């Protein structure tokens, strides 16, 4: 069993609440109110800026050059691909880059991103990776599941989002991240340390659920 498989099994309630959240279900069946998706997109853009900083922190925390390169690839994937995707999506909803970048961060956005940065600052590379894992791996799992269910059909206004995370490029990112996590765990994880690692993973999953809920609440 890989570390990720073990974490998902031991944090099954938190993982299920995150990956099967009502926001995800409504996104898949196209019933999600557009104002909820727009609010989510803006906050996710701000979220990714902080995640780029977390990957940059990973460069500093990396014990090897290979780890540094892997962290750098995470920075580049966000800055060169994901942020532009969000700008394009937001543009289709009538929002400019300036509108997005000057928007205030909601509390759930701040809570999650600062938690990840704190995990990395106070811990080592494994702590940081585990804090990042629910986002990186969860979005790949959600995208693949929605695609398999046929949710990215032409009538779904959220098909481009689904396609991004179901696509080969992002699925490759998730697989490489999982392998990187396992390599780090092989080097530094002990049974005595595992409860701390699990706690980080559980908290990150709960914060992901809060992030989805923030999007849903924007429609109220």
Annotated active-site residue in 135, 141, 164, 205: 135
Among 140, 122, 142, smallest CA distance to 196 is for 122
- Give the burial string for 35-73 (b: 16+ CB within 10 Å, else e): ebbbbbbbbbbbbbebbbbbbbbbbebbeeeebeebbee
Q: 89 near 157, Cβ under 8 Å?
A: no
Cβ atoms 41, 90 nearer than 8 A: yes
Q: Catalytic annotation on 135?
A: yes
Q: Tell me how far apart the alpha carbons of residues 94 and 90 are, in angstroms, rounded to a whole number.
A: 6
Give one word for 186, left, alpha or beta, with left for phi > 0 and alpha for psi -120 to 50.
Answer: alpha
User: Is residue 90 flagged as an active site residue?
Assistant: no
H/E run at residue 193: none
Q: Rounded to an integer, what distance in angstroms lies between the CA atom of residue 55 and that of residue 49?
A: 10
Query: Which are the catalytic amino acids?
Result: 135, 208
């Amino acid at each position: 069993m890989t570390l990720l498989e073990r974490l998902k099994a031991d944090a099954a309630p938190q993982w299920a609440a995150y990956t099967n959240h009502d926001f995800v279900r409504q996104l898949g069946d196209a019933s999600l109110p557009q104002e909820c998706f727009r609010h989510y997109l803006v906050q996710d853009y701000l979220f990714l800026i902080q995640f780029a900083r977390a990957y940059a922190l990973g460069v500093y925390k990396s014990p090897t050059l290979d780890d540094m390169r892997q962290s750098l690839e995470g920075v580049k994937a966000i800055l060169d691909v994901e942020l532009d995707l969000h700008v394009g999506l937001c543009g289709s909803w009538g929002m400019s880059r300036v509108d997005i970048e000057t928007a205030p961060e909601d509390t759930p956005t701040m809570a999650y991103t600062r938690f990840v940065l704190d995990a990395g600052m106070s811990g080592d590379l494994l702590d940081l990776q585990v804090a990042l894992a629910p986002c990186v791996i969860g979005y790949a799992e959600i995208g693949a599941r929605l695609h398999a269910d046929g949710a990215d059909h032409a009538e779904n206004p959220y098909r481009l989002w689904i396609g991004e995370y179901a696509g080969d490029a992002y699925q490759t990112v998730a697989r490489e991240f999982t392998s990187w996590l396992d390599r780090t765990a092989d080097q530094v994880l002990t049974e005595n340390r595992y409860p701390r690692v699990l706690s980080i993973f559980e908290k990150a999953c709960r914060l992901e659920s809060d992030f989805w809920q923030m999007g849903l609440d924007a429609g109220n």
